[in-house]
Structure 1
Amino acid sequence: MSKITDSTYYRAISPIKNAVNKGRVIPLGGTPRLFFLCGANGHDGNVSYRRKQVHDFLLKNVENAQVIIAEKFFDEYRRNSREKNALDFEHVLTKVSEKVIIIMESPSAICELGAFAHHELRHKLIVINDSSFKDSPSFINTGPLEAVRECSDENRVLWYKMYHGDVEGKDGVAAVFHDLNSLVENPSVASKRIPCEDLDPSNEITAKTALFVHDLIFMMREVKYKSLINAVKIVFGESKKYDNVKKILTILISLGFIAYEDRFSKIKSVRGKAFFRYSDDDGVMRKGFFLDGLKQRMRA
């Protein structure tokens, strides 16, 4: 990289670095709210009737909702992560999600309830269950469901009469939508400044770290993986490990926020704007990165 190109690059990235390190990053309107929806699949491999109904309800009624269906993520995750087991992957999805909604309609959903009722995650859970079992002294009721009830004053275990036949069967799952809406109502304020540690990809993966990585890609227009990591290092420091970035890219791809065909291609945002604000004129940064890329191509 020439000194001129170097200068152009650092002038472009400096406002991001300064905003992050001084805690001046602010969410913009339209920041997505991520909901992880668990339940059964039908015989055709698509989500069950109940899960489709809840999925559509969230998208229609919750502003900026993005619904995570885990099955769509697995192939991408296994390709980009050393860990191949679905449990670790689902814990990653749980950490980036605002709420985890489990429809108790299959053995796999029961397993997910047991996994996510851990004390670090249970505060995110909303469980939809069959009212036929509401008064049962089973371990499900006295164990994980009781743990969910105890960790909040809200009623986050929702009951209705489920159809007991095949998972493809249709029933009145909409009976819980009023209470579900109360639990996922839009937050009142989204303009709070975000501290540096909440954006750092070397820490645990959260929605904020994932959206920051998207914004870095968006500002750089298109970027190779190695160059993305170098940019992250400039912002957060050279001495840290950024292995989480590969998992974050998987999440962003699966949500439809970025395109990344393979490890030899460039990573691009498919959105028209960033999720956070970094300066009074973030367009200047994009122009700086564009000029830097143009200079590099001219010198190639």
Structure 2
Amino acid sequence: MIDEKSIVKNTYDLIYKKDVDYSLNIFLCGADTNKTKSIRNLLNIEFQKDAKFNTVFPEFVFASLFKKKKNNLFELEDDLAKNVDVIVLPLEGPGTLCELGAFTMNEELLPKIIAINDRKYDKKKSFINLGPVDLIRKQNSKNYILFEKGKEELILDEVIDRVRNQRYEKKSTYNLDNFFNLSRFILYLIALFQPITIGKLKSLLSLVETDKVKSKHIETALQILIQKNRIISEYKIDHELDFYFLSRAGHIYFYEELIEKLNIKKNFSLIRGEVINSIYKKKKKNMSRDKSLLV
């Protein structure tokens, strides 16, 4: 029987706390990514090319938020203020206009918004232009970008450069109530315990003594890792559960880059060996039990 509490502690101390994070955390709004020509989808493709960018979609956060009826949109705004560095908001439909109106009313979120508007609506005297858009322009005119329908690709570099070069008041923090931080810690646990279910992940995260993990953030953190192509999920019919593994890119990042950089290859190999032996012993025990039932 392995000491999971000790393994979780070592993962936190030896990997998570040593891995200094310089990434930019992006809340990417806009039209459905199934619309391949949407600005959100085009930007998402570009963001995925650079490991510096972490992106999360509103639907990931909303899904976990509304599983608990006591949560509300004000709590979402509070989460965004704590978690994200920038909100990229192409105005591509009624939903994005609602998001723009809500987010610009929050003093902490307003400086983080980069709004992208169709040029043909720029001069119209509308509530959006006279209210939320005007607030963004007054806050920072560079955070308001115009595009022409059918020529969306032409503004991609401008948006990426704005995200990359904007000044951020980032603080080095390891709090696991930040779902981007949590995604990094979960990646390390998956590397150690793969294949792993969300139930097992929650059990391991409950063993963290230095911080309290919000259960509503776990699925969001997993989606961030899937979006970043660090992990994949696979549904196993015999277990009726989703299992999470490192993707090929995640394997290369973790085994060939991260543990080499942190100089923890020996320590990690020992811990992973313990986990594999435990899984093998458990399977062997179950096989013996199944054989006895057949006799």
Task: Flag whether TM exceeds 0.5 (same fold).
Answer: yes
Check if 1:148 corresponds to 2:136. Answer: yes
Return closer, same or farther for 1:68/1:14 CA change in 2, 3 Å cut-off.
closer
Q: Secondary structure at the match of 2:206?
A: helix
Aligned to 1:207: 180
Percent identical residues? 20
Query: What's the CA shift for 1:126?
Result: 0.9
Aligned-residue CA RMSD (Å):
4.4
Q: Secondary structure at the match of 2:107?
A: coil
The 8 Å contact of residues 74 and 86 in structure 1, kept in 2 or not, is answered as no
* 1:1-300 superposed matches below 5 A: 1=1, 5-6=2-3, 9=4, 12-19=7-14, 24-27=17-20, 33-41=24-32, 45-59=34-48, 62=50, 64-65=52-53, 68=56, 73=60, 77=63, 81-82=67-68, 96-117=83-104, 118-152=106-140, 155-160=142-147, 162-163=148-149, 170=150, 172-177=151-156, 179-185=158-164, 194-196=172-174, 198=175, 200=176, 203=177, 205-236=178-209, 242-261=215-234, 264-270=241-247, 271-272=250-251, 273-274=253-254, 280-282=263-265, 284-298=267-281, 300=285
Query: What's the CA shift for 1:229?
Result: 2.9
Query: What's the CA shift for 1:184?
Result: 2.0
Q: Which runs of 5+ in 2 are unaligned?
A: 286-295
The 2-side partners of 1:229 and 1:181 are apart by 35
Q: Which runs of 5+ in 1 are unaligned?
A: 164-169
The 2-side partners of 1:294 and 1:268 are apart by 18
Return closer, same or farther for 1:276/1:95 CA change in 2, 3 Å cut-off.
farther
> Normalization by structure 2: what TM-score?
0.68
Count of residue pairs brought into register by the alignment = 270
Aligned to 1:166: none
> Normalization by structure 1: what TM-score?
0.67
The one-letter amino acid paired with 2:127 is F
Larger RCO (CA under 8 A, 6+ residues apart): 1
The 8 Å contact of residues 11 and 188 in structure 2, kept in 1 or not, is answered as no
The 8 Å contact of residues 29 and 40 in structure 2, kept in 1 or not, is answered as yes
The 2-side partners of 1:238 and 1:63 are apart by 26
Residue by residue over 1:232-283, the C-alpha shift from the partner in whole angstroms, topping out at 9 and shown as x without a partner, is 2333359776443244334434544333445735432221134977953155
The one-letter amino acid paired with 1:287 is L
The 2-side partners of 1:89 and 1:194 are apart by 23
The 8 Å contact of residues 81 and 247 in structure 1, kept in 2 or not, is answered as no
